[in-house]
Amino acid sequence: MAKEKTAYVCTECGYDSAKWLGKCPACGQWDTFKEVKTASPKVSRRGTSVVGAGVFGVENCEGGRVVRLRDVDTKAEERIDTLDPELNRVLGGGLVKGSLVLLGGEPGIGKSTLLLQTVLRLKGLRILYVSGEESESQLRMRADRLKPADVEAIGADCYILCETSLEKIYEHAREIEPDLLIVDSVQAVSTQQGEAFPGSPSQVRDCAVSLLRYVKETGRSVLLIGHITKDGILAGPKVLEHIVDTVIQFEGDRQNFYRVLRSLKNRFGSTSELGIYEMQSGGLRPVVNPSEMLLNQDNEGLSGVAVASAVEGVRPLLIETQALVSTAAYGNPQRSATGFDIRRLNMLLAVLEKRAGFKLAQKDVFLNIAGGLRVSDPAIDLAVVVSILSSAYDQPVKPFTCLAGEIGLSGEIRSVTRIAQRIGEAKRLGFRRIVVPRSNLKGLDTALTGMEIIAASKLQDALRHLF
Ligand code: TYD
Ligand code: MG
């Protein structure tokens, strides 16, 4: 018989060690080690206790035999239409049957709301919604809130279950045979086969591995909710992302109503898709025209405002950047950015100082991307820089003008992707002038765009046309 042993496991990343450590050598977090009793000689890092024989997950492959790649059937995967255009798009065209999807996000962002409202809309599918966090009446109250008009219309095949034991969940699933199983959340459920306490990294991983096996064996779909830590690590152990087929993440400021659904990994589609929602009193509403919501209509003539024509994933978005520059009153100047990387802001300020000769070293700079949306598109650099200069010199940018361009370290304006799409979106929203990188002009028929195109290769070229 195996002797019981003690190991210490990092609750953040799942790293295990024979002795207690103050700082985890794998993820660098402090005070995260918890004692775990285990019957096996070593805490299994791959959750083999759940997978059984297949140490490398071989049983997930069909039949476990060798076949010629060209002989494999290429039947298109069947998808479930979620009746939510944003969710469908982020999933790559609907939920693939027999896939395990992880929906991550900070607590309170709206994960349960999104899945419950999706479930309420789906008719003709058997659904089992398992909640380890809320009671039946809480779920019903939320459902009423989401569908006040026609509660009676909740599908007869929509079942709820408040349970935290994975084995019991499977028992009920065998009975109900749901087409779609929702588990809210992976941190709340636990499996008897796993070691350690519920919510610990090894439990979370064991549950995910076990659910993956359920999905591949039954051909049904599972949507799994996972909370993310304050550092943005999905469900504690990063390992979870490797297990599931698709990872989608819900982001946004809780103070703000807008939520962005992003795909981080997708075995059945692209990861460049984006869904935008607005949290209302009756649930999440898809935002069809995000640019309209991100643009503040009445700031004409105000200094410190510039509009960027950005692309997030494959979606064009017009985004307003606002800056406030003022003389630093006390000692060190402050730099703060909302919705923009502070290091990038510091880099842009250094470029302005060194390459363009603007003296901003003694100024406080506050930057805000309107709508609380976090954008990663480097093409908004130009709008950020222009809004800073506009505020510093109290000069409003000419009306109906927007910008797209990445700023390089020597002050050059670098080319951006999808220029035609950016120009098209700006035109659609009533802009008449757009500043674009000169290097993007190749192959672009400027006469056809119906906009005044200002090509700039250096910051100074652009500024001449803006104020
Ligand atoms: P929830 O889905 O419980 O978040 P998560 O599952 O990610 O932890 O969302 C909770 C928040 O959403 C809560 O603060 C209230 C708000 N909310 C609305 O604004 N409108 C609604 O219709 C619902 C159901 C929730
Ligand atoms: Mg929840």
Per-residue pLDDT tens for 176-193?
999 999 999 888 888 887
Query: pLDDT band for position 153 (50/70/90)?
Result: low
- What lies within 8 Å, CB to CB, of 100 at 6+ separation is 208, 211, 212, 215, 221, 222, 224, 243, 244, 245, 246
Write the pLDDT tens digit of every residue in 327-379: 988 788 999 998 899 999 999 999 999 988 898 988 999 999 877 677 788 99
Q: What pTM does this model have?
A: 0.74
Q: Is the CB of 113 under 6 A from ligand 1?
A: yes
- CB of 269 within 6 A of ligand 1: the answer is no
Q: Which among 242, 268, 308, 223 is positioned nearest to 14, based on CA atoms? A: 242
Radius of gyration of the chain (CA): 26
Which atom of ligand 1 lies nearest, measured to the CA of 146?
A: 22
Q: What is the mean pLDDT of residues 242-259?
A: 84
Give the pLDDT confidence of 385-431 residue by residue, as tens digits.
999 999 999 999 998 899 999 999 999 999 999 898 899 888 888 88
Q: Is the CB of 104 under 6 A from ligand 1?
A: no
Rounded Cα gap, residues 5 and 27, in angstroms:
24
Q: Which of 103, 109, 113 to mutate to test the pocket of ligand 1 (most atoms within 8 A of CB)?
A: 113
Q: Which atom of ligand 1 is nearest to the CA of 145?
A: 22
131: Cβ below 6 Å to ligand 1? no
**pLDDT score for 232:** 53
Q: State mean pLDDT over 212-224.
A: 93
Distance between CA atoms of residues 304 and 370, nearest Å: 12
C-alpha pair distances (Å), 34 with each of 10, 44, 189, 311, 438 = 6, 15, 19, 43, 57
| Percentage of residues in the chain having pLDDT higher than 90 | 38
* Dihedral sign computed on CA atoms, order 131, 135, 139, 140: positive
Query: Considering every ligand atom, which ligand is closest to the CA of 104?
Result: 1
pLDDT at 195 over 80: no
DSSP H/E element including 292: helix 290-294
pLDDT tens readout for residues 253-302:
777 778 889 888 899 888 777 888 988 888 899 887 777 776 766 667 78
pLDDT at position 8, please? Answer: 83
* Integer CA distances (angstroms), 77 to 92, 219, 243, 354, 401, in order: 11, 11, 19, 54, 45
**Does the C-beta of 118 come closer than 6 Å to ligand 1?**
no
Q: Which residue would you say has higher pLDDT here, 47 or 382?
A: 382
What three-state secondary structure class fits 272? coil
Structure confidence at residue 150 as a pLDDT band (50, 70, 90): low
Question: What one-character-per-residue DSSP string does 35-67 give?
Answer: EEEESSSS--SS-HHHHTT-TT-GGGSSTT---
The confidence score (pLDDT) of residue 38 equals 62
The share of the chain scoring above pLDDT 70, in percent, equals 86
Q: In angstroms, what is the span from residue 111 Cα to ligand 2's centroid? A: 6
Distance CA 303, CA 165 (A): 58
CA 395, CA 386: separation in Å to the nearest integer?
A: 10
| DSSP state, residue 362 | T
Confidence of residue 321 (pLDDT cuts 50, 70, 90): very high
Mean pLDDT of 297-308: 82
Q: Whose CA is nearest to atom 13 of ligand 1?
A: 108
450 Cβ below 6 A of ligand 1: no
What's the rounded Cα separation, in Å, for the pair 435 and 427?
13
pLDDT category at 56 given cuts 50, 70, 90 is very low
Residue 111 CA, closest ligand 1 atom number? 7
Per DSSP, helices labelled H in 122-267 are 136-146, 166-176, 201-218, 239-243
CA distance to 108, 126, 218, 373, per residue, from 165 (Å): 23, 21, 19, 37
Q: What's the pLDDT at 366?
A: 95
Task: Give the pLDDT band (50/70/90) at residue 313.
Answer: confident
Q: What is the mean pLDDT of the chain?
A: 83
Supply the DSSP symbol for 141: H
Given this model, what pLDDT does residue 127 score?
93
pLDDT at residue 240 above 90? no
CA atoms within 13 A on the CB side of 401: 21
| One-letter amino acid for residue 300 of the chain | E
- pLDDT for the residue numbered 409: 93
Which position has the token pair 């200094």?
303
Strand order in the sheet with 433-437: 335-338, 363-369, 315-327, 305-312, 401-403, 433-437, 452-456
What span, in angstroms and rounded, lies between the C-alpha atoms of 320 and 145? 33
Q: Is 142 in the pocket of ligand 1 (CB under 6 A)?
A: yes
- With 0-12 / 13-18 / 19 or more C-beta atoms within 10 angstroms meaning exposed / middle / buried, residue 95 is buried
State the pLDDT confidence band at 110, using cuts at 50, 70 and 90.
very high
User: Before 200, cis peptide (omega within 30)?
Assistant: no
Interatomic CA distance for residues 246 and 248, integer angstroms: 7
